[in-house]
Amino acid sequence: MGKPTGFIEYLRELPLDRAALERINDWNEFHLHMKEDKMRQQAARCMDCGIPFCHTGTLISGMASGCPINNLIPEWNDLVYRGLWKEALERLHKTNNFPDFTGRVCPAPCEGSCVLGINSPPVTIKTIEAAIADRGWEEGWINPEPPQKRTGKKVAVIGSGPAGLCAAAQLNKAGHNVTVFERDDRPGGLLMYGIPNMKLDKQLVLRRIDQMAKEGIQFVNNTEVGKNYPAEKLRKEFDAVVICTGATKGRDLPIEGRQLGGIHFAMEFLRGNTKSILDKTKNGNISACGKDVVVIGGGDTGTDCVGTSLRHGCKSLVQVEILPRSPMERAKDNPWPEWPKVYRLDYGQEEAAAKFGADPRVYLTTATKFEGDESGHVKAVHTVEVKWEKTEKGFTPVPVVGTEMVRPAQLVLLAMGFLGPEQPLLEQLGVERDARSNAKADFNKYTTSVEGVFAAGDARRGQSLVVWAFNEGRGAARECDRYLMGSTDLP
């Protein structure tokens, strides 16, 4: 619970970020560290709330409320307050294989359901989580821990993103021989190529991959199961398969001019950029340098496109969002402990505002046409404002006459979310799919229509949070272990 009166004595404080105009000149992480005494004060704010909603991990109104992996938050807050950092790390690792990742990229639904947050700023849970993990690496407390016994069972995990890494780590802990297949040239999936380096340093991902390899997990890169590695061979060589390929099929925008050059899916842009950083080449194969950039989509991926474009040195930047701007405070229909749908200036928008003078987002706006130049390359995006009207099929956006605009753009990035997993692998394995084209498998069971084949993460549930992928990867490992051994000790 931290200090009994800590939530009264101390105000919420966050570590400072590097200045926006400074950090857009490099690809280093933008968060600075908070001194230990300050961090212990923040942990002291964790109150004796009786029923801590922060680790409930439930869905309310379709959004996460509390931590989906049920982190023991009050326990490690109390340990940090008392200076027992190693014990705090042990508590954290009981539920979270990779707190150094979630402490950086998770949107912290735990803070949205913090009891203190009912009428005060919530506890800085995410910051404390990252600090515990970082302290563990600095002190040498995090080391390879290979299993003492092997079961002789072989498991293939397809995909090395957040769900795949958690599934592999847990299955290896149970003593199985785990092989992780990754179609890219480096393991990590979304963590490696979907999240920019300034948000999650890739050396931190590679550090964990190295730890896992030393624990006995085999990583096979540049191998796409169902393409250059037959699914039949996979089924013959392994006792069980866990599909963790993610939901990588991007949502398209099939309007006039979509075929023009210079219009790309966000992940194509972000992946190429991170690969260029790791390979020490310049700006990947898609550069925003000197260009007017229009990002279509207002979520985290859109923000990452904004931050990346700024670091390339774009000429101008607009982010188009079809939804209205969120209120500054919780609306009456968005009560605690729901995730607070409030206005936030994320790191990319903060940087754009520092460089260009304003938040780059334009709300209640949609693109209607892409205009090209003589060479077949995009030169402008036509937009119109919309209003949402209720129909028999629900709410639909209706154009507002007279609000049409033509916005210059030599680079357009589509960041409107994802439609589900790519289908060839599921087809080859004969896995049944649900109405949204995801691998059909019940939550908490993760078993597909094919015996011995499990599915977890975005490939099963659709586009979601990294922390939900952690939850599902761990859960699929538990059920896979039960299938292989008849019982399981995995959580």
* CATH code for position 176: 3.50.50.60
Which of 382, 416, 450 finishes a domain?
416
Retrieve residue 23's tokens: 């950090």
Say if residue 122 is in the same domain as residue 242.
no
Say if residue 283 is in the same domain as residue 385.
yes
pLDDT at 187: 97
What stretches of 290-400 show up as alpha helix (H) in DSSP? Answer: 300-312, 347-356
Say if residue 412 is in the same domain as residue 424.
no
Q: How confident is the model at residue 261 (pLDDT cuts 50, 70, 90)?
A: very high
Rounded distance between C-alpha atoms, residue 356 and residue 365, angstroms: 20
- Tell me the backbone φ, ψ of residue 189, rounded to 5 degrees: 55, -130
Alpha carbon distances (Å) from 114 to 53, 205, 282: 6, 29, 43
Closest CA to 359 of 394, 317, 393: 317
Minimum mean pLDDT among 143-147, 255-259, 441-445: which range?
A: 441-445
pLDDT at 343: 96
CATH number at residue 77: 1.10.1060.10
Say if residue 289 is in the same domain as residue 166.
no
Q: 1 in a domain, yes or no?
A: no
Q: How confident is the model at residue 78 (pLDDT cuts 50, 70, 90)?
A: very high
Say if residue 72 is in the same domain as residue 173.
no
Which of the pair, 285 or 287, is modelled with greater confidence? 287
Say if residue 242 is in the same domain as residue 261.
no
> pLDDT at residue 48 above 90?
no
Which of 365, 393, 416 finishes a domain?
416
Output the average pLDDT for the chain.
96
Q: What is the DSSP letter of 190?
A: I
Say if residue 325 is in the same domain as residue 406.
yes
Q: 491 in a domain, yes or no?
A: no
Question: What residues form DSSP beta bridges with 380?
Answer: 371, 408
Say if residue 212 is in the same domain as residue 344.
no
Say if residue 88 is in the same domain as residue 202.
no
Cβ-in-10-Å burial (0-12, 13-18, 19+) of 426 comes to: buried
Q: 145 in a domain, yes or no?
A: no
Which of 139, 168, 183 finishes a domain?
139
Instruction: Find out whether 308 and 276 touch, Cβ atoms under 8 Å.
Output: no
Q: 428 in a domain, yes or no?
A: yes
pLDDT at 186: 97
Q: How confident is the model at residue 392 (pLDDT cuts 50, 70, 90)?
A: confident
Alpha carbon distances (Å) from 410 to 110, 272, 295, 349, 419: 40, 18, 11, 20, 26
Instruction: Find out whether 285 and 261 touch, Cβ atoms under 8 Å.
Output: no
Domain count, the chain: 3
| Residue range 379-400: mean pLDDT, rounded | 94
> pLDDT at residue 447 above 90?
yes
> pLDDT at residue 282 above 80?
no
pLDDT at 50: 87
Q: 92 in a domain, yes or no?
A: yes
Q: pTM for this one?
A: 0.95
- Tell me the backbone φ, ψ of residue 308, rounded to 5 degrees: -70, -45
Say if residue 194 is in the same domain as residue 225.
yes
Rounded distance between C-alpha atoms, residue 215 and residue 38, angstroms: 35
Closest CA to 466 of 229, 252, 164: 164
Q: How confident is the model at residue 354 (pLDDT cuts 50, 70, 90)?
A: very high
Say if residue 159 is in the same domain as residue 170.
yes
Q: What is the per-residue pLDDT across 452-490, written as a single tens digit (0 to 9) for each?
A: 999 999 999 999 999 999 999 999 999 999 999 999 999
pLDDT at 283: 61
Say if residue 431 is in the same domain as residue 405.
no
Q: 149 in a domain, yes or no?
A: no
pLDDT at 1: 65
Q: What is the per-residue pLDDT across 97-137, written as a single tens digit (0 to 9) for each?
A: 999 999 999 999 999 999 999 999 999 999 999 999 999 99
> pLDDT at residue 2 above 80?
no
Instruction: Find out whether 61 and 338 touch, Cβ atoms under 8 Å.
Output: yes
pLDDT at 146: 97
Q: Using DSSP, state whether 356 is helix, strand or coil.
A: helix
Retrieve residue 335's tokens: 């009560």
Instruction: Find out whether 33 and 48 touch, Cβ atoms under 8 Å.
Output: no
Q: 490 in a domain, yes or no?
A: no
| Angle between helical axes of 36-44 and 125-139 (0-180°, round to 10) | 140
pLDDT at 486: 97
pLDDT at 83: 97
User: Which helix H or strand E contains 488, and what residues bound it?
Assistant: none
Alpha carbon distances (Å) from 380 to 193, 257, 304, 317: 28, 10, 22, 12
Rounded distance between C-alpha atoms, residue 485 and residue 66, angstroms: 32
> pLDDT at residue 89 above 80?
yes
> pLDDT at residue 28 above 90?
yes
Q: 148 in a domain, yes or no?
A: no
Residue range(s) defining the domain that contains residue 164: 154-248+419-485
> pLDDT at residue 180 above 90?
yes
- Percent of the chain exceeding pLDDT 70 equals 99
Question: What count of other Cβ atoms lies within 10 Å of the Cβ of residue 87?
Answer: 16
Residue showing tokens 């970020």: 17
User: Which helix H or strand E contains 394, and what residues bound it?
Assistant: strand 394-399
